Each structure stands twice: as structure tokens, then as C-alpha cells.
A and B are shown apart, each in its own frame.
Chain A
Amino acid sequence: MRNQYDVIVVGAGHAGCEAALVSARLGCDTLLLSIYLDTVAHMPCSPSVGGIGKGHLVKEIDALGGEMAKVTDKTAIQFRLLNTKKGPAVRGTRTQNDKVRYRTNMKHHLERQEHLSLKQSLVELLVVEDEHVVGVVDQMGVFFQARAVVLATGTFLNGLIHIGSRQIPSGRAGEFPSTALAKQLCDLGFAPGRMKTGTPARLARNSIDFSRFNEQQGDLQPKPFSLFTDAITLPQISCFMGRTNERTHELVRRNIGLSPLYNGSIRGVSARYCPSLEDKIMKFPHKEFHQIILEPEGLDTEEIYASGTGNSLPYELQYELIRSIAGLESAEIMRSAYAIEYDYIQPTQLTATLETKLVKGLFLAGQVNGTSGYEEAAAQGMWAGINAALKVQQRPPFVLDRSEAYMGVMIDDLVTKGTNEPYRMFTSRAEYRLLLREDNADLRLLEKGYQLGLHDAATYRELVERRKAIRSELERLQRTCVRPSGEVNALLQERNSAPLGEPASLAKLLKRPELSYTDIEALEGSASALAERVKQQVEVECKYQGYLRRQEAEAKKFKQMEQMEIPDGFCFDEIPGLSNEIKQKLRSIRPSSLGQASRIPGVTPAAVAALMVYVRRFRDRGNVQKIKVA
């Protein structure tokens, strides 16, 4: 039996799959271990991928050479572009997916991937020698040797499901938790935190009266996530929107003592942006109703995900609750809602590559780092997988900064600030939001993926040509002027746009929020032969004109602070005048740059100024010593 690998990935959820695939693609012999092979790439909560901010992550994974976007496109049964009334930077793609198809499709990719082995195994022990991880031991006592290990254990560490007063130790509904591993991480010195998340009930389709719901269709012309998807193949379905009512709320209020969230049984922290129904009703007592959405779990199943009804109340009460909703009067619950508590590792214990500071070669990715969401997990998996492989190959680490990608924003937030509630990606977390769009993920990151070795030369060549085409079309639009004629102004008025008084460049016209590139084609009287992606970029560039340059200038300034490195071995205690609290923070985070130091909560600008002085001095002194040695 073979038991020597370069990289071992523990856990085959969304983080583990990306980590294993990318590690293998970078040429490392990779082993992916899953507790149960039938739930590889499972979506244990909503049947949907993407959203505002999250969609950005999916596109970035794709641009770097990951898998999530491709599998999503192949298994999506509804596409919607969100925030279309807002500007291009904050638009996000979201899909509904067929869960079974998603996981079988992803599993098949894993099985066929060169350098990758997929095995069913419950890991119980990390083997650590001299603060370096050297492998793992599973439940059957098998030792797998590795030079780097990625832990992507999701909610499995000390997972505990709550349904009313029932408590069931589980990683997910119906699956074993990881208790031995959780204990070992504590023994190794990791400080765990506890979080809570939950999922709503799944209802039987034939027990629902859909006439009481509003149908929500997908986009008529679905735009895929992946650059490499040519066509959407699966049939497209609708979701259905309904509401809770006073009866529902009264039920929850009357029985709130039975909710483990409210009677003290659950101590884990839940996310404010993804509240359970109990929380919605108790914390916002003046709201007359809350929205619920019925989402099909797939094409070959009658299970319907009742989004917005997540709770941890006793099973019988869940029935009453669901049936108080118009259209669900005789609904049958196929799977009950539940809350789950689990351990996570405060991510400030990680470096920017997601490697732990305590154990070299050990990387953590996904929900174990205190995040929520498939997309956040997948992005971290990709990041940790790349860095684990690079470490094994003794290549320099791969890190994107906050001005380059949502991934960079998320990782920096996690390792610098940590998180006390499940971390979700929002666009407002990104300071350089206008630069980091779904539509330009390829322009930002494809080249980096290519340099890593994750794209072929033809893909890269296309990117170079696309860039050229965008530039020249932009120049043409700036050069080309339209004169105010009756014809032109009639067309503008038709689009609710102010008529022209004097000649204007096409670029200037395209800047108007109400006009699109199609209108420019109409003004010119001919359809452009350019690729859709080129047209789209040109349009965005014009819309944000001025603002993009401003953000680029800010990003440049930001990078200067990032490039002021704090050398390894720099002693923060040497700086007089810093409070003990600040020193302690700097010691534990060990920021790699002044920029990162300035983002640590509680580190004041004055402290950063002092740090700047001493880092400079430390470096100069270091140089002097080097000269002496020479």
C-alpha cells in the first residue's frame, strides 16, 4: 500500500476539493481524505452558489484555475445576476444548483485528476515532529506520510447538532464528528472558538400549494460563472417567494424557551447576517413578516429547501411553524431544520498563506477558520492548496493583497483581525471595490494562474489579446465624437437620456448610467464585431471613468505600506512607549508589513508611526552588521 504523499488534504468539502485539485495540478502527489465518499463536495445548506461578494470569489477561483465555477455552471438550474440596478462592481452572480449533480460532477473531476488519490478515511491524528507536520493517522491506524497537510474539516470539529432539547454529536446531519482531531489541535496549543450555524427544513414538493407563492424566475440569458463554459446545459427552474405571518411569530415567541439558541444550550456565536427565524422574530419584533424562498434541491428530487425558516426548535413545533405559512398549510417536512455548533480555530493563528504559526507545513482552510459559505471555503482551499504545494516544491508563497482580489481581502481580514462570528464575504469589506469586479476577475488573476502553471499558453494568449482589444476600443470611443442631430437626440430620448447640446465622445455618452454598449452600437448604426467580454469591459471602464483612476492611485499608496516589510525576528518588545496591549497584539499576529500592522484592531496610528521608526532602525542596524561581517 502506498502511504507517502507530498500533500494530504483532510476533508473533501468545498475547501478540500479545491485544495486537492490545485495541489495535484501543480504537480504534487496529493491525497484527499473524506469521512464519507458519497458526500464529497456536498452542499449541506442552501442549494445555491454565489451572490454579491461571493460570486466575486467564485469568478476569482475560476480565473486562477480552480474548479468551483465550472462545476457550478454544469450543474446550475437557475442563474441570476443580482444588483443589476447598481453599478458593475457590486453586481454578483448567483445560481441554484442541483446538489447531487454538483457533488458527483466534482467527485468525478477529483477521481480523474492526475497525481490525486481520493480515499474514504476518518483522520484522528496529525503527526507532528519538531513543530513540523509529517503526516496523519486515521481511525484504522493507518499512517499517511506527507510534507504538508491541509486541514479542511468544516463543521466537523466537535460538531453538535441541536433540534429542540435533542443534541446529536455530528459533523453534519447523519455524519460522524471529529472529536479526536479537535482534542489534538487543543493539545498542540491551538486556541479553539465555538460557532453556531444552522439550516432550514426541506419540504416535500407535492405537499406545497405553490399558488400562494410568487414565482421568481432566473435570468432569460444566463451568464455562466466560468470563462471556460460555452453553454448552459441543464433545464432552468424557478424559485418561489412567500412570507411568514403573525401566527408564525406568535408561535416562536410563545415557545422561545424551547429554542436551544435562547435557553442557553447553544453558546457558539452565530452570524448576524444569516439569522435564524428565532433571531429574526425576537430581535426585530416590529416586523410584520419575514420573507421565505422555496428553492428546489435538484432536478431529480422532490425536496424543497425552505430558505428563511432555519431554526433549532423541537421537531413537532417545526411542523406547526411551517404550516402557519400561507401555502404550506399541509406541508410535509422531509428533513428537519437544525442548528449545529462546532469548534473553529481563530484564524489569527495563521500566516497569510494559511499555514499555522504553531505547526509548520500545516495549513487550515474553510469553515474551520471561522468562515461561512461554500465560496469562502473554496477560495481558502485554493489558497491553502497552492501554498502547500509551493512549500513542498520550495517555491515562494502565493499571496494576493487587498487591492488585487476579494480572496486577498478575506485572507487578510481573517489572519489580521480574526473573526468571532462566521465570516461572510461582502463587497463593503473591499476598500478597492471598484477595481475588484466579477467582470474583470480574468484580467486581474488569469495571468497569475498562468504563472503558477494552472492555465495553458492558449488561454494566456487569449487574455493578452483581449487586453489589447479593450485598450484599442477604449481609445476609439474616446476619439469618436457624435454630433447633436435630431436622429441622435431621438435615440437618446428613447433611452430616457438627456439630449446632446454639443458634440460628445462616445466614451462620454457611455459614462451615462442609463446607456449601454448596445446603445452605442445603435448610435453608430452598426453592430460591433468585438467579443462580448471586450464590450463589457469597455462599458465598465467608461461608466467608472475617473473613479477607477482614483482607486488605482489609492491602491498604489496602499501597496507602499504593504511593501514596508517587518523583518523576521523583529522584536516588538523593544519599542518603548507601546502599551502592553499593543505589544501583545503585535507579538501574536506577527504582521509581515507595516500595512498589515496598521490593520490590527487596537493598533493606533501613533503606534504604527513608532513601529515605522524602529523597523527602519532595525533594518539599518542589520545592514551595518552585515557589512561588518563581510
Chain B
Amino acid sequence: MDFELTDDTISAIATPIGQGGIGIVKISGTEALSIAKRIFRPRKSVHAYETHKLYHGWIVEPETQEVVDEVLLSYMAGPRTYTREDMVEINCHSGFMVLNRIMEFVLQSGARLAEPGEFTRRAFLNGRIDLSQAEAVADLIHSRSQQSLLAAARHLSGDFRSQIDELRDKLWQLQSEIEAFIDFGNDLDEGEANIESVKLLLTMEESLIRPLGQILACYETGRLLREGLTLVLVGKPNVGKSSLLNVLLGKDRAIVTSMPGTTRDIIEDSFRLSGVLIRILDTAGIRMKPDSIESMGIQRTLSAVAEADIILWLMDQSQPLSEEDDQVFQAVSGKSYMILLNKCDLPPRLSVEDIRTRYDRAVPVLRISVFNRGDIEGLQNFLRDRFLATPLAENRSALIPNMRQKECCERSLEALQRGRKLLQTGSYNELVSLEIETARKHLNAVLGLEVDQDLLDGIFSRFCIGK
């Protein structure tokens, strides 16, 4: 990433265009106020703008003085700002045209369009936030569900930091104990000049290796909450997959006909369940002699199944099992899946026993009718209990690392495990100390206390414009 030219004035639209009633344009840098003055006409004339105050007025075309929008403008002088630089925020109406014209004026008046993540990068470079907080901002922006928002907010507030700090403290204590023994063993009086490896081992195990393991376990939960779950609908044609999709999404997404094979490609959309994003993939039905377009769809079905967290196999109760079902079974066998027996309002020609005998004695089967609201609620409850209960419970107590932090924690844990082995085999103290030091360095990296260029590049390239 290019780290050059970071002290010019930057600007970006900070709100999604077209959503919500208010749009915000942010400007940061030494020229922020003078740029704002060129395009802002206050309602009451202002002698000198005071910091952290809102001003009511209009954005005008700098040349023609033509009014573009009625706005609230706030001026905040550095360093008490997000970037620690002078900042101006223009709260305007969020129409596409309005926002874009205001942005255009700002750029004409001397600002540069911010690169992705540049506001936060400045906040970090100017010492306003530490690295784990900077990452949390990225997570906030990227988070697609409320649960992951919660985790990101906790990072931002520093809960995660204090947990890592505690581990760093323990490592530091442990290391200073060993170091005292190495450097001053000869100065210490008899009796003091011994470190008990048994005691060291216990401390390592209880206070370090275990808690680090727990943090790492949280990562899986975190990934789930951050990225959501992928739910794949499979089944032979015309069993009601697209109808189920529409019901779950609460809108008409897929074309529903009674013609088998209507869904030729994969339809993808998402909905929220208890605040967690569920990405839903509706696959092409699997048929015996598919035409060529449909066979491509089947290929995609197979790859969708491969990445699924939840596989729902839809069957039609009004039809007996067929070879097509066998093909579906081939696609899902070996995976964890469950069967939804649809069309329960029609006369039954297929029983749960039939299915279990033919495919899997232990497979969970749920009878539904996609048009029955109660059945759908039952299905949602079932999914919640089975897939979300544990992660949601963990999320309340846990602080969830992101991928980079997880990797640092893993390396820290590995160093501790090597240290443990050294202690167990009676190896030299200075080597044990080195491993503890290594473990500590990796934890420092979690918090950005040890930084290198690659790491910064990696993190800041994840930001979208404007934050």
C-alpha cells in the first residue's frame, strides 16, 4: 500500500448512497475548514467557526453560489477528532445526486478523494487508536450481522485488549522469574536460587496455554458470526425449494412454477436469524436426464453443498422416492444434512420410515408445508437451536479474534507449547525464556505493539472509503 502523501486533506462520502435519509460527507486534514467555507453558506453569518459545534446552512456551488442542499455542518479542530486532524462533517440529504455534487465541490476546492480505510489509517498513524481498534473498525464496516457488530464494538472498546494484556502480563512475570534466575542466580541467597520447573509448568498450563486455547476456540464462533452461515437447499425438481426460499426471505425472490427445473442456476440471497446472517443458496433440482444448461447447474449444486454449514434436503411427501432422490443422496452423503418433508397438506405417498430405511437411519426429518406459517416458524426454531444456540451463548462471554489476531494467538500458543516441552525435557532456561519471549511478541502483535509494514498494508486495505 502507498503510505505517501498522508498530510493532504481527504474527503469521502461516509454513508451508503441511497439508503436512509441522511448522507454524510467527511473532510479531514489541515484544509478541512477552508474547503468547507468555500462551499457552505451559514444561515447566520459566522465570524469564526468554533470547534465541536453544529452550523445550519446551505451547500452552494462555489462559482455560481447556487444552493444545492440544506445541511448541518460540524467543524471539529484536531486533535480531538477521529483522525486527530481538523475535520468537517456535512450532514446532507442522502440522494445520489446531492451527495455526489457536494463531493464534487469538496474535491474541486482542494480535497483529495480518500483511499479505502484512509480515515482510520490516519487515526492509527496519528496515535488515536491502536491496531486492534483499527481492525475493529474494519470489522464494524464489514460485519454483516448484528452479532458480529457486537463483537466488533467490544474490540473497539478495548475488552479484547485487556484480555490479551492479562496474558502478556503473565508471560512477563514468568519471564522475569526465569531471567532473575539466569542473571542473578549467583547473587541470590541459598534457597532463592532455584526456580521450580514444576511450578513453571503449572503456571504455563493454567494461566497461558489454556486461556489462549479458549481465545482460539472463540475464533470459530467469531467467523460464524462475522461471515454468517451458508444454508443450501437441495432436492429433486419441483419439491418446493424455491417456495421455501421465498418464504424464508419473506419476499418473492425465485420464480416459482410447477414446471420442474425452473431453477437452473443457483439463486443466492440472505436473511437474518436471531441477528445472524444466513446466506441461502437455492440449487438446481437434480433430474435424471437434464438438458445441458441444467447439468451445469448440478455441478454448481455440488460445489454449493461442499461449502454449506447447513444442508436442507427438501422432499415431496406426495411422491415416492425415486432415482433422482438417490442422486441427491450421492451429492449430500457424508455431509451433515437434514430432510424437510414438504407438502404435508397433500395425501402422503412417502413416510419417514421409507426415507430412513433407504438412506440414513439417523437423519433428522421435519414435516412441513411451506405455506403454513407455523411450520416455517418451527423450522426457524429448529435451525436456531441446532446451529446458533452455542455460538450465540459463547458470544456473550467471549471476545472474538479476527483472522490475523487468531494467527498471532496460534503462533503464541505454539511457542508456549515448545517452551513446555523444553521444561519437561530439562533443557536450558535461556531457551525456555526465549520461547516465552516469542509468545509475548506474538501477543504484542495482536495489539499492534509490534508492527511491520506488511501487517499495516494488510489491515488497511480492508477498509471501505469514508471511515
The residues of A with any CB-CB pair to B shorter than 8 Å are 51-53, 82-83, 86-87, 89-90, 243, 273, 287, 289-291, 426-428, 433-434, 513, 543-544, 547, 550-551, 576-579, 582, 604-610, 612-613, 616-617
Task: Determine if B450 is an interface residue (Cβ-Cβ < 8 Å).
Answer: yes
C-alpha spacing A273/B184, complex, angstroms: 9
C-alpha spacing A586/B427, complex, angstroms: 42
Nearest B residue to A608 by beta-carbon distance? B451
Q: Tell me the minimal C-beta distance from A89 to chain B in angstroms.
A: 6
C-alpha spacing A354/B448, complex, angstroms: 33
Contact A89 B183 (CB under 8 A): no
Q: Tell me the minimal C-beta distance from A500 to chain B in angstroms.
A: 16
Take A428-B182, A604-B127 as given contacts and tell me if A291 and B431 are in contact as well, using a CB distance cutoff of 8 Å: no
Q: Tell me the minimal C-beta distance from A440 to chain B in angstroms.
A: 15
C-alpha spacing A577/B78, complex, angstroms: 9
Contact A273 B187 (CB under 8 A): yes
Contact A609 B184 (CB under 8 A): no
Contact B124 A513 (CB under 8 A): no
Contact B125 A609 (CB under 8 A): yes
Contact B428 A577 (CB under 8 A): no
Write out, one digit per residue, whether chain B residues 337-351 have a CB within 8 A of any chain A CB (1) or not (0): 000000000000000
Contact B3 A428 (CB under 8 A): no
C-alpha spacing A273/B179, complex, angstroms: 13
Residues of B within 8 A of A289 (CB): 189
Task: Determine if B168 is an interface residue (Cβ-Cβ < 8 Å).
Answer: no
Residues of A within 8 A of B34 (CB): none
Contact A610 B190 (CB under 8 A): no
Contact B4 A606 (CB under 8 A): no
Residues of B within 8 A of A609 (CB): 3, 124-125, 451, 456
Task: Determine if B449 is an interface residue (Cβ-Cβ < 8 Å).
Answer: yes
Q: Tell me the minimal C-beta distance from A274 to chain B in angstroms.
A: 9
C-alpha spacing A69/B336, complex, angstroms: 73
Q: Tell me the minimal C-beta distance from A553 to chain B in angstroms.
A: 12
Contact A428 B7 (CB under 8 A): no
Task: Determine if B250 is an interface residue (Cβ-Cβ < 8 Å).
Answer: no
Q: Tell me the minimal C-beta distance from A557 to chain B in angstroms.
A: 8
7 contacts between A and B (CB under 8 A): A52-B182, A291-B189, A513-B426, A551-B434, A577-B122, A605-B450, A610-B126
Q: Tell me the minimal C-beta distance from A78 to chain B in angstroms.
A: 14
Cβ contact of A291, chosen from B6, B131, B190, B449, cutoff 8 A: B190
Take A87-B428, A605-B451 as given contacts and tell me if A53 and B183 are in contact as well, using a CB distance cutoff of 8 Å: yes
Residues of B within 8 A of A547 (CB): 431, 434
Take A513-B427, A608-B451 as given contacts and tell me if A578 and B186 are in contact as well, using a CB distance cutoff of 8 Å: no
Which residues from 279 to 331 on chain B have a C-beta closer than 8 Å to any C-beta of chain A? none
Residues of B within 8 A of A579 (CB): 127
C-alpha spacing A613/B5, complex, angstroms: 8
Q: Tell me the minimal C-beta distance from A358 to chain B in angstroms.
A: 30
Residues of B within 8 A of A610 (CB): 6, 125-127
Nearest A residue to B431 by beta-carbon distance? A547
Take A433-B430, A605-B450, A609-B451 as given contacts and tell me if A86 and B127 are in contact as well, using a CB distance cutoff of 8 Å: no
Task: Determine if B211 is an interface residue (Cβ-Cβ < 8 Å).
Answer: no
Contact A86 B182 (CB under 8 A): yes
C-alpha spacing A605/B85, complex, angstroms: 19
Take A291-B189, A578-B127, A606-B124 as given contacts and tell me if A87 and B449 are in contact as well, using a CB distance cutoff of 8 Å: no
Cβ contact of A87, chosen from B130, B429, B456, cutoff 8 A: B429
Q: Tell me the minimal C-beta distance from A464 to chain B in angstroms.
A: 29
Which residues from 363 to 379 on chain B have a C-beta closer than 8 Å to any C-beta of chain A? none
**Assuming A289-B189, A433-B430, A610-B126, what are 6 further A-B pairs, CB within 8 angstroms?**
A52-B183, A89-B430, A243-B189, A579-B127, A606-B451, A616-B3
C-alpha spacing A90/B183, complex, angstroms: 8
Q: Tell me the minimal C-beta distance from A534 to chain B in angstroms.
A: 22
Contact A606 B431 (CB under 8 A): no
Task: Determine if B110 is an interface residue (Cβ-Cβ < 8 Å).
Answer: no
Q: Tell me the minimal C-beta distance from A571 to chain B in angstroms.
A: 14
C-alpha spacing A181/B89, complex, angstroms: 60
Nearest A residue to B134 by beta-carbon distance? A606
Residues of B within 8 A of A577 (CB): 79, 84-85, 122, 125-127
Take A273-B187, A290-B189 as given contacts and tell me if A87 and B430 are in contact as well, using a CB distance cutoff of 8 Å: yes
Which residues from 103 to 150 on chain B have a C-beta closer than 8 Å to any C-beta of chain A? 122, 124-127, 130-131
Task: Determine if B158 is an interface residue (Cβ-Cβ < 8 Å).
Answer: no
Residues of A within 8 A of B431 (CB): 87, 434, 544, 547
Q: Tell me the minimal C-beta distance from B423 to chain A in angstroms.
A: 12
Contact B4 A617 (CB under 8 A): yes
Residues of A within 8 A of B430 (CB): 86-87, 89-90, 427, 433-434
C-alpha spacing A605/B450, complex, angstroms: 7
C-alpha spacing A617/B124, complex, angstroms: 19
Nearest B residue to A427 by beta-carbon distance? B183
Which residues from 141 to 199 on chain B have a C-beta closer than 8 Å to any C-beta of chain A? 179, 182-187, 189-190
Contact A513 B4 (CB under 8 A): no
Nearest A residue to B179 by beta-carbon distance? A428
Q: Tell me the minimal C-beta distance from A595 to chain B in angstroms.
A: 12
C-alpha spacing A53/B431, complex, angstroms: 17
Take A87-B429, A513-B428 as given contacts and tell me if A606 and B125 are in contact as well, using a CB distance cutoff of 8 Å: yes
Contact B182 A90 (CB under 8 A): yes
Closest 8 A/B residue pairs (Cβ) = A577-B126, A87-B428, A428-B179, A605-B451, A426-B183, A610-B125, A606-B127, A291-B189
Contact A613 B127 (CB under 8 A): no
C-alpha spacing A86/B429, complex, angstroms: 6
Take A87-B429, A87-B430, A606-B130 as given contacts and tell me if A428 and B451 are in contact as well, using a CB distance cutoff of 8 Å: no
Contact A612 B3 (CB under 8 A): yes
Residues of B within 8 A of A82 (CB): 186
C-alpha spacing A149/B432, complex, angstroms: 45
C-alpha spacing A550/B415, complex, angstroms: 12
C-alpha spacing A551/B430, complex, angstroms: 13
Residues of A within 8 A of B7 (CB): 576
Write out, one digit per residue, whether chain B residues 253-292 have a CB within 8 A of any chain A CB (1) or not (0): 0000000000000000000000000000000000000000
Q: Tell me the minimal C-beta distance from B367 to chain A in angstroms.
A: 59
C-alpha spacing A290/B190, complex, angstroms: 9
Nearest A residue to B438 by beta-carbon distance? A550
C-alpha spacing A90/B124, complex, angstroms: 39
Nearest B residue to A428 by beta-carbon distance? B179
Nearest A residue to B130 by beta-carbon distance? A606
Nearest A residue to B190 by beta-carbon distance? A291
Q: Tell me the minimal C-beta distance from B243 to chain A in angstroms.
A: 54
Residues of B within 8 A of A273 (CB): 184, 187
C-alpha spacing A86/B183, complex, angstroms: 11
Nearest A residue to B7 by beta-carbon distance? A576
C-alpha spacing A243/B190, complex, angstroms: 10
Residues of B within 8 A of A612 (CB): 3, 453
C-alpha spacing A543/B428, complex, angstroms: 9
Contact A607 B127 (CB under 8 A): yes
Nearest A residue to B453 by beta-carbon distance? A612
Q: Tell me the minimal C-beta distance from B458 to chain A in angstroms.
A: 13
